[in-house]
Structure formats: structure tokens, C-alpha cells
Amino acid sequence: MKILSVENLSRSFGGIKANDNISFEVEQGSILGIIGPNGAGKSTLFDLITGYTKADKGKVKFFEKNIFGLSPDKISNLGVGRTFQKLKPFADQTLLENVMIGAFVKEQNIKKARDKALEIIDFVDLIEKRHHFAKELSTGQRKRLEMARAMAIEPKLLLMDEVTGGVDQKTIPGLVELIKKLKKTGVTIITIEHNINIIMEISDNVLALDQGKRIAFGPPKEIQKNKQVIDAYLGTFDAA
Amino acid sequence: MESKLIAAKSEPLWNTNNKVISIVCGLVILLFALPLFGLNSFYLHLFIMIFMHAVMAQSWNVIAGFSGQISLGHGAFFGIGAYATSFFYMQYGITPWISIFFGMFISAIFAVLIGIPMLRLSGHYFAIATLLIGISFQVVFQRWDLVGAASGLWVTMTPEDSWIALQFHSSKVPYYYVFLIFFLITFFVVWLLSRSKLGYKLRAVRDDPQAALSLCINVSNYKIIAYVISAMIMAPMGSLFAQYILIIDPDRVFNIEISIIVLLITVLGGIGNVWGPIIGASILIPISEYSRIYLGGTGGAVDLIFYGLILMIICIFRPNGLISFIPKDILERKKQR
């Protein structure tokens, strides 16, 4: 079953086409990896889907429901969670409080919301840090915080922007394992990732973007061989 | 791992520190008992001003400290409260006890009307817009004949002390208790707010509105809710102040100084903390009143210099306010490591 279908989504900033007629579909329970060089329009695509940026045209359907043009809070309320490339923790609140704010979406009782938040914090392996203020956590821990907070709204679809970006090499395997563990809970995941090896390892499908355009879409093995993708990443020797 | 989760779940939702609770209870009892020791009218006045300004600062704390919007026109709601009780009493003989609620209601309506367009602005723009709105209230009331224009309203005095008319001429003690009770109620309500779901969501809006949106929080609505609550806390202080001095005019109750002092008190005490406004008011108001006594008419300007100095020192050395001097393990949101 399709959980998300995006059709001809476009957005220009001035004369630059950040997203140019992007179309793709995501199967429920799968992981879609989005790759592309810097400035390819990956984060813009996330912002368009989640309503943070208004698209110029196109269609976005979430379970057959048109969510194009809805505000971010309404879209998240339908069950679309997200994390941010530039991390946005509630800095002056503890980790537990951060996740509780997400848990309040589905759980009205404060004590129950707290317990639910603790379970999620345990799931992301940060239970010992629960009373630390978000600003005291390391980048890797804050990435987990954002994942935990997004999970707390019980999303059906989770969009994660560069989970492994900006963290040291030692931290990466743990975060990758966490994404795999997340998938097992049944949530559908779209993840932006610069690390090609990780994308190939975890994704069911890969969407490759370059200069705002979709250049390839398909299973990781096909994408790996795709000439356009290789060119976009490695550059061409075309003298023209 | 599992046992750590169970242990975490068995923690109480809030840390209760019995020492703090007993200190607070002791202070409350002391405040109730103070007039019995025969405080002279200056000290009664001093305490009344502390209570009043602490509540006014708490009002500002709700919008600025909890939801992160810096309002520089909060005096408007103080003035609305002051005019509401005085006007309805003089025109229709309605007891201030009822028209206090009118003042709150009218303030709430204005908060919605101002909040819907203005809270779309962020940061400095919201501050500047509210500053101008605060001033425009003063200008309008200076020219509005129905409410006495620039000369204001002189509340009809009752021949004797009256609880119904909320006027006491023979002693300040009844005013002391009225202000004290409003002070305690306000702090209790804001304390509850800070622990409620609404409190959590407002802090989320303050810390990162974009992230709050991703958690189904309608940021604009929550800012308006905070603004309305804040206005409804401010208005009764205007009402009680009008009953206390019985003469109000636009220059006094819509004064820009009101909007500034609530900011100073809160920043001094600790912004975003329920206790901040109490601490701030307990320090700033005595400075202001004493400087007025010892320096006479020029004292008004000298206390402003004091405020400026204090604010600079706080911003440089204690940006979290004086509350940050209190050890972390006494504060409620302590870290259990």
C-alpha cells in the first residue's frame, strides 16, 4: 500500500528551481533513501512534503489524503513526523521534557505521557541522559533526541534529514542500527543521507536528485549502476 | 537496560523538596501575619507595591518567559483593568469585584485582536509593534471624553470603608490583604500552568517554534493563548491599583514605564521561572520606593539609573537572573543523575 505519493512537486526560489517536477511513491513499511549532492534539493523536498515551505505546484498524497498546502502542525497531526538537518531540540528543556512534548499529541495524561516518553528514550538508548538539558547533549545524542521526539507523536511516516551527518565515525553505526530498529516497529521512513554505503545498506528504494531534478528512482542496486547518479556524484569529464 | 526503564518510571513526576515547601509555607504565613505586628503605612504600601508588581511581572513572564514573545506594551492591559473598574463603578455603580472580571474580559479580547496579526511577527518586530500599541492606548484614552480624557477618572469616594466598593480610607491593611490574596492566587495559577501540558507546549514554542510545529503544535494559537492569559493576569492589577489610589489618568495607568518595569523585574529575578518575578519585585520595588523617599522628586530619575545598572550587571554576569544563585538541587527541575 502506498503511504505517500508525490506528483510533479515544484518550488523555485527566485530563478533557481530547488525542486523541479519531483514525483515518487513510498510503500508502507519501507525505507526510502534520498541522495544527491549539496544543493540538490533534498531538504527542500522534505520542507515541501511537511508543509514548512509552500510548493508552487504539485500533489502530495498521504494515504490517499491530499496534504498539499496544509500547515506543518496539521500534517504532523495526520502522522508525519520529521527531524531536522540543522538540529532543533528544545534546548532549555531536558531530554525527557523534549520527548514528553511529542508524547502529549497522543497521550493527554501527563504521567502516562512521561512513561511513554521514557519508553521511547529507552528505545533510542538514552535512558541515563533523560534529565539532561538538550543543550548539554552531544550532536549524536541530539540526533537520537530528535528521533525520539518525532517517534513520540506515533508517526506512520517519519522523515529524517541526515541522521548521520555531522557526527563522528564511531557514532554512525549506532545510529544506523537505530534506523533499522525503527523500521521493525512498522513505521515508514524517508531518510536523506550523504553516506552512500549507509543508503545502500538500509534502503528499499533510493531517490536520487541533482539540481532540483529527479535523476533516478529504484532499488539501491540499480541506482548504484545508474550513469546519471555516478556523474552527479563523481562529476563528468565532458569537456564541453 | 530494562531495569533502568522501570526505575525511571517509578520516579515521581515532580521532585518535591520538603525544605522548599516548608520555607514557602512559612513565608506565606508570615505575610498574612505581618500587618498584625503594626506595620506603619509606608511598609504596608511597600508590600502592596511588591505584590502588585510581582503579579504584573508574572503576567509579562507568561508571554515572554514561557512563550518567548517580548511584549513592550503590557501597560495597555493594566490601563484597561484600571479604567474598567473605575468606569463601571462611576457610571453604573457596579462593584469592582465584578468589574475586575470585565477588565479581564476586555483585556482578553484586546489580546486576541492584537495577537492575531501581531504574533505573526517574531522577535524584535513583535516587541516594536506592542510598544506602539501600548502608546496608542494612552493617546486614545487621553482624547476619549467618555472616560475623562486627559484628566482621567476620579473614583467617587464612599463616606466610609467599604468592601463592596473596595475602598478603604482609614487603613491600608485591607488593601494589603486584597493584594496579597491576588498575588498568591496568581502565583498558584502560573505555577500550575508551568507544570501543565500547556506550559510544556508554550516552552516548546519559545525554544523552537519550527520544531514545535513538527509536534502538532499550532504555534500561532499557542502564542495567542499565552498572550490572553498574560493580559488576564495584568488587568486585575490595574483594577486594584485604581481602587487603591482612586484617581486614574492615562499618563499614570498607560505609562510606558509600566511596560518597562515588568520587564526589568522579570529579567532581574529570572525570566521563564515562576519565582523570578517575586525575587525581582522584592528587590526592585524597595529600591524604587526608598530612592523616592530619600531623593525626593528627583528620585524618579535616580531609580531609573539604578535599574539600568542592575540590568547591565545581570545581563553580563547572571543572564538567567538572580534565581540562578539558588543552587540547582533546590530548583524543581533538578537533574537526577
User: What Rg value do the Cα atoms of chain B yield, rounded?
Assistant: 21
Per-residue confidence (pLDDT) for residue B294, from 0 to 100: 79
Whether the Cβ atoms of residue A39 and residue A198 lie closer than 8 Å to each other: no
CB atoms A105 and B215 under 8 Å = yes
Whether the Cβ atoms of residue B202 and residue B226 lie closer than 8 Å to each other: yes
Whether the Cβ atoms of residue B204 and residue B215 lie closer than 8 Å to each other: yes
C-alpha cell at position B116: 492575531
Residues of chain B with pLDDT under 70: 1, 296-301, 328-337
Select from B1, B8, B213 the Cβ nearest to the Cβ of A73. B213
Residue A239 has pLDDT above 60, yes or no: no
Whether the Cβ atoms of residue B127 and residue B71 lie closer than 8 Å to each other: yes
What is the b/e burial string over B19-45, where b = at least 16 CB atoms within 10 angstroms of the residue's CB? eeeeeeeeeeeebeebbeeebeeebbb
Number of Cβ within 10 Å of residue A25's Cβ equals 14
Residue A238 has pLDDT above 60, yes or no: no
- Which residues are bridge partners to A208 per DSSP? A35, A216
**What part of B 234-253 touches A (C-beta under 8 Å)?**
none
Alpha helices in A68-225 (DSSP H): 72-78, 95-103, 110-123, 139-152, 172-184, 196-202, 220-225
CA distance linking residue B181 with residue B191, whole number of Å: 15
Whether the Cβ atoms of residue B155 and residue B247 lie closer than 8 Å to each other: yes
Residue A159 has pLDDT above 90, yes or no: yes
Vertex B257 angle, CA B255 and B261, to 5° = 140
Q: If 0-12 CB within 10 Å is exposed, 13-18 middle and 19+ buried, where does residue A14 land?
A: exposed
SS3 A35: strand
What is the b/e burial string over B292-309, where b = at least 16 CB atoms within 10 angstroms of the residue's CB? eeeeeeebeebbbeebee
Average pLDDT rounded to a whole number, residues A63-91: 94
- Which residues are bridge partners to A13 per DSSP? A16
E strand intervals along chain B: 153-154, 247-248
Vertex B313 angle, CA B311 and B317, to 5° = 125
Across the A:B interface, residue pairs with CB atoms under 8 Å apart total 98
Number of Cβ within 10 Å of residue B121's Cβ equals 14
Those residues of chain A whose CB sits closer than 8 Å to some CB in chain B are 50, 52, 71-73, 76-77, 81-82, 84, 88-94, 97, 100-102, 104-105, 108, 110-111, 113-115, 118-119, 122, 125, 127-128, 130-133, 149-150, 152-153
Per-residue confidence (pLDDT) for residue B298, from 0 to 100: 59
C-alpha cell at position B231: 493580559
Closest CA to B334 of B60, B11, B65: B11
Average pLDDT rounded to a whole number, residues A115-122: 95
Chain B nearest-CA distance from A144, in A, is: 15
B15 to chain A: nearest residue by CA?
A131
CA distance linking residue B56 with residue B230, whole number of Å: 9
Whether the Cβ atoms of residue A75 and residue A53 lie closer than 8 Å to each other: no
Per-residue confidence (pLDDT) for residue B321, from 0 to 100: 85
Mean pLDDT of chain A: 91
Closest CA to B335 of A95, A120, A87: A95
Supply the CATH classification number for the domain A2-87+155-234: 3.40.50.300
Q: Does residue B6 belong to the interface with chain A, where contact is any CB pair within 8 Å?
A: no
Whether the Cβ atoms of residue B57 and residue B265 lie closer than 8 Å to each other: yes
Per-residue confidence (pLDDT) for residue B328, from 0 to 100: 64
For the packed helices A95-103 and A139-152, what is the interaxial angle rounded to 10 degrees?
20
CB atoms B203 and A130 under 8 Å = no
Domain boundaries, chain A: 2-87+155-234
Q: What secondary structure does DSSP assign to A186-209, as a single string?
A: T-EEEEE-S-HHHHHHH-SEEEEE
A36: left (phi over 0), alpha (psi -120 to 50) or beta: left
Whether the Cβ atoms of residue B73 and residue B86 lie closer than 8 Å to each other: no
CB atoms A71 and B201 under 8 Å = no
> CA end-to-end span of chain B, whole Å?
16
Q: In what order do the strands lie in the sheet with A213-218?
A: A65-66, A57-62, A2-13, A16-27, A213-218, A205-210, A31-35, A188-192, A157-161, A80-82
Q: A133 contacts in B (CB within 8 Å)?
A: 335
Q: Please report which confidence band the pLDDT of residue A240 belongs to, taking 50, 70 and 90 as the band edges.
A: very low
Provide, rounded to the nearest whole percent, the portion of chain A with pLDDT above 90.
Answer: 79
Distance of CA B13 to the CA centre of its chain: 28
Chain A nearest-CA distance from B105, in A, is: 28
Per-residue confidence (pLDDT) for residue B297, from 0 to 100: 63
Chain A nearest-CA distance from B218, in A, is: 6
- pLDDT tens sequence across A133-157: 999 999 999 999 999 999 999 999 9
CB atoms B4 and A110 under 8 Å = no
Q: Does residue B119 belong to the interface with chain A, where contact is any CB pair within 8 Å?
A: no
CB atoms B213 and A115 under 8 Å = no
- Which residues are bridge partners to A6 per DSSP? A24, A60
Q: B204 contacts in A (CB within 8 Å)?
A: 90, 93, 101
Number of Cβ within 10 Å of residue A211's Cβ equals 15
Closest CA to A34 of A229, A240, A238: A229
Chain A nearest-CA distance from B93, in A, is: 44
CA distance linking residue B111 with residue B123, whole number of Å: 17
Q: A81 contacts in B (CB within 8 Å)?
A: 214
Q: What pTM, to 2 d.p., does this model score?
A: 0.91
Distance of CA B143 to the CA centre of its chain: 27
Question: What is the number of alpha carbons within 13 Å of residue B79 lying toward its C-beta?
Answer: 28
Whether the Cβ atoms of residue B216 and residue A153 lie closer than 8 Å to each other: yes
Question: What is the number of alpha carbons within 13 Å of residue B274 lying toward its C-beta?
Answer: 17
Q: What is the DSSP letter of A85?
A: S
Q: Does residue B197 belong to the interface with chain A, where contact is any CB pair within 8 Å?
A: yes
